Amino acid sequence: MTPSVLFVCVRNGGKSQMAVDVVVTLGREARLDVPPGTDLRHWNTDEPSERGIDGVEQTRLVCDHIDGPRVRDLLQELPPAT
């Protein structure tokens, strides 16, 4: 089985819950109740909306902010696909 990660931000918190290996909340305001035993991590991220940036540009900035060492480190921690 391929490991899966669910990234949740404040605007989609609680809307997209599914069986995953790791749940990562993004941003200072994102909060999520998860079932016991779920690997829940919180990544404080840049908040482009606080600077008036919305839409596709906001999404690109958040993706750029989390892409890199955090994602690579997380990939190393996940079990290999079977």
- Domain range for 20: 5-77
pLDDT of residue 12: 54
- Give domain status of residue 68, yes or no: yes
Q: What is the DSSP letter of 50?
A: G
Asked if 11 and 54 touch (Cβ cutoff 8 Å), the reply is no
Please tell me the total count of domains within the chain.
1
- Give domain status of residue 82, yes or no: no
β partners of residue 9? 26
- Give domain status of residue 71, yes or no: yes
- Those residues with Cβ within 8 angstroms of residue 16's Cβ, 6 or more apart along the chain or in another chain: 6, 8
pLDDT of residue 32: 79
Asked if 18 and 36 touch (Cβ cutoff 8 Å), the reply is no
- Give domain status of residue 34, yes or no: yes
pLDDT of residue 18: 57
E strand map for the chain? 5-9, 22-26, 39-43
Whether residue 14 has pLDDT greater than 80: no
